[in-house]
């Protein structure tokens, strides 16, 4: 019998599903000691998502099925449960605070539990469901930065948490897409936290760092100080907007603009030679045009500046900007734009590096770019920090009967 919470039929394998606006990525891995060996990788074009929200359940579940079959074939395992990413501007993070008196002058395990309960009693928006409850610190008689207060002397115990919630219907639509693809969502994890897990080293979290995952539909920000998450934010302006700008300005199709961006794109126009040109096909029967790569970069720079300024505003509004000693780590597919680290460093006035999944074993070459950070971070898991695991709800754990899965699998293999 399978152990509860195991993610795939092979007891030691785990699987993660990143449902992005542009790409669905599914990874299967086997933990070996304290490392993860990637056994299977599946991906598919994501057609049913818009800025982190499902807009077509059928198309989305088909994309998940394609990625699932690919990952199963490659790994030689069957996957039934996955940890799933959640994003979109419906995802909201806020800090909360709780206080309890310390009885008998020493913090007991019960007091430590009660102060967390007091801190988590924040009202969520009416249609929201709790996703994560991250402990930032305990405070004993005004002394902050305490990670385990049990046994400490004092009279007043406080706790600071970071609470993340998401819109109930947006979350249940994601679970529905997984279920339609014969997968059970074992956990819902906010993308920004998963990406941070994949790209950061513990020292960066301790010293203070911001991680920005710039995907196709969303920019996901998470800020860490003193080893804990202190701020999260999602903005729905990202790579797809850059592609759209190129398509509009250069009067070409979205597909051509996307290819142009990947082949000739750059984040800083002034570093691109004006004389280097490229032919761009017209829409419909319009003739192709020759455009300068400098123009392509100028168009991209304008949108990237807007995106990075929104990131800067959010970091400043969080009040933690002066504590980010380790600067900023950029990840997500758009982080592959040449020159983006330099542009971000200029706008945010801090050191910037590009982050991609680190310390990967097995099929590492398949996921060695920033667009895989969320999926790999899901595998690494966030459970140690996440006390509530409220996503382990009855809905998330719904299992499909074995015979339904078998039937569905046989059916989809013949399609």
Ligand X SMILES: Nc1ncnc2c1ncn2[C@@H]1O[C@H](COP(=O)(O)OP(=O)(O)OP(=O)(O)O)[C@@H](O)[C@H]1O
Nearer residue to Mg ion within complex by CB, 20 or 154: 20
* Tokens representing residue 169 in the block: 């219907």
**Does the protein bind ligand X through residue 52 (CB under 6 A)?**
yes
Name residues whose C-beta falls within 8 Å of residue 49's C-beta, 6 or more positions apart in sequence.
Answer: 19, 20, 21, 55, 60, 217
In whole angstroms, the minimum distance from the beta carbon of 282 to ligand X comes to: 21
Q: Which of 54, 193, 234, 238 is in the footprint of ligand X by CB under 6 A?
A: 238
Binding residue count for ligand X, defined by CB under 6 A? 25
Q: DSSP string covering 78-115, please?
A: -B-EEEEEE-STT-EEEEEEEEEEPGGGB--HHHHHHH
Q: Write 290-295 long-range contacts (CB < 8 A, 24+).
A: 291/250, 293/264, 293/266, 294/269, 295/249, 295/250, 295/269
- Going through 116-227 in order, the beta strands assigned E by DSSP cover 128-140, 143-146, 156-167, 184-190, 209-214, 219-225
**Least distance from C-beta 115 to Mg ion, angstroms?**
35
Listed in sequence order, the residues at least 6 apart from 276 whose beta carbon sits closer than 8 Å to its beta carbon are: 292, 293, 294
Touching Mg ion, residues 350-409 (CB under 5 A): 374
Q: 217, 362, 381, 396: which one contacts ligand X (CB under 6 A)?
A: 217
Binding status of residue 52 toward Mg ion by CB under 5 A: no
Q: Which positions from 94 through 153 interact with ligand X, judged by CB under 6 A?
A: none
**Does residue 215 interact with Mg ion by CB under 5 A?**
yes
**Sign of dihedral through CA atoms 364, 365, 367, 373?**
positive
- The 262-281 contact track toward ligand X, x by CB under 6 A, reads x--x----------------
The end-to-end CA distance of the chain, in Å, is 31
CA 252 to chain CA centroid, Å, is 31
In whole angstroms, the minimum distance from the beta carbon of 258 to ligand X comes to: 5
Q: Is the Cβ of residue 161 or residue 177 nearer to ligand X in the bound state?
A: 177
What is the rounded CA–CA span in Å between residue 206 and residue 228? Answer: 7
Q: Which is nearer to ligand X, 94 or 262 (CB)?
A: 262
Whose CA is closest to 385, among 194, 122, 112, 125?
Answer: 194
Task: State which residue, 90 or 261, has the beta carbon closest to ligand X.
Answer: 261
Q: Does 261 bind ligand X (CB under 6 A)?
A: yes
Residue (133 or 293) nearer to ligand X, CB? 293
Q: Which is nearer to Mg ion, 100 or 199 (CB)?
A: 199
Of residues 301 and 337, the one with the C-beta less far from ligand X:
337
* By the rule CB under 6 A, 377 interacts with ligand X: no
CB of residue 220 to Mg ion, shortest distance in Å: 7
Residue 23 engages ligand X in binding (rule: CB under 6 A): yes
Residues of this chain that interact with ligand X (CB under 6 A) are 20-23, 46, 52, 87, 215-218, 238-240, 243, 258, 261-262, 265, 332-334, 336-337, 371
């Amino acid at each position: 019998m399978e152990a509860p919470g195991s993610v795939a039929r092979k007891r030691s394998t785990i699987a993660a599903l990143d449902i992005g606006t542009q790409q669905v990525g599914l990874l299967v891995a086997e933990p070996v000691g304290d490392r993860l060996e990637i056994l299977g990788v599946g991906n598919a074009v994501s057609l049913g998502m818009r800025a982190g929200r499902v807009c077509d359940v059928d198309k989305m579940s088909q994309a998940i099925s394609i990625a699932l079959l690919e990952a199963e074939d490659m790994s030689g395992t069957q996957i039934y449960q996955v940890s799933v990413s959640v994003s979109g501007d419906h995802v909201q993070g806020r800090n909360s605070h709780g206080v309890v008196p310390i009885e008998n002058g020493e913090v007991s395990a019960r007091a430590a539990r009660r102060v967390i309960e007091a801190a988590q009693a924040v009202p969520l928006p009416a249609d929201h469901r709790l996703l994560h409850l991250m402990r930032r610190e305990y405070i004993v008689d005004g002394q902050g930065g305490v990670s385990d207060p049990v046994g400490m002397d004092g009279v007043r115990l406080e706790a600071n948490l970071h609470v993340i919630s998401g819109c109930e219907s947006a979350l249940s639509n994601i679970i529905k897409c997984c279920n339609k693809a014969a997968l059970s969502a074992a956990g819902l994890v906010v993308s920004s936290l998963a990406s941070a897990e994949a790209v950061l080293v513990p020292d960066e979290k301790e010293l203070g760092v911001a991680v920005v995952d710039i995907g196709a539909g969303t920019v996901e920000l998470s800020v860490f100080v003193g080893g804990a998450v202190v701020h999260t934010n999602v903005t729905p302006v990202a790579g797809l907007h850059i592609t759209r700008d190129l398509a509009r300005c250069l009067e070409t199709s979205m597909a051509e603009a996307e290819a142009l961006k990947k082949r000739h794109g750059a984040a800083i126009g002034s570093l691109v030679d004006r004389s280097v040109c490229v032919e761009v096909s017209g829409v419909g029967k319009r003739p192709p045009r020759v455009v300068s790569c400098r123009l392509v970069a100028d168009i991209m720079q304008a949108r990237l500046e807007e995106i990075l300024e929104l990131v800067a505003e959010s970091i400043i509004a969080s009040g933690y900007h002066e504590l980010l000693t380790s600067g900023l780590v950029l990840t997500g597919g758009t982080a592959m734009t040449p020159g983006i680290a330099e542009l971000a460093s200029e706008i945010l006035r801090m050191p910037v590096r590009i982050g991609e999944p680190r310390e990967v074993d097995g099929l590492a070459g398949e996921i060695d770019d920033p667009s895989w950070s969320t999926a790999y971070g899901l595998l690494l898991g966030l459970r140690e920090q996440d006390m509530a695991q409220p996503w382990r709800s009855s809905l998330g754990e719904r299992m499909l009967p074995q015979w339904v899965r078998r039937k569905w699998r046989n059916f989809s293999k013949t399609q």
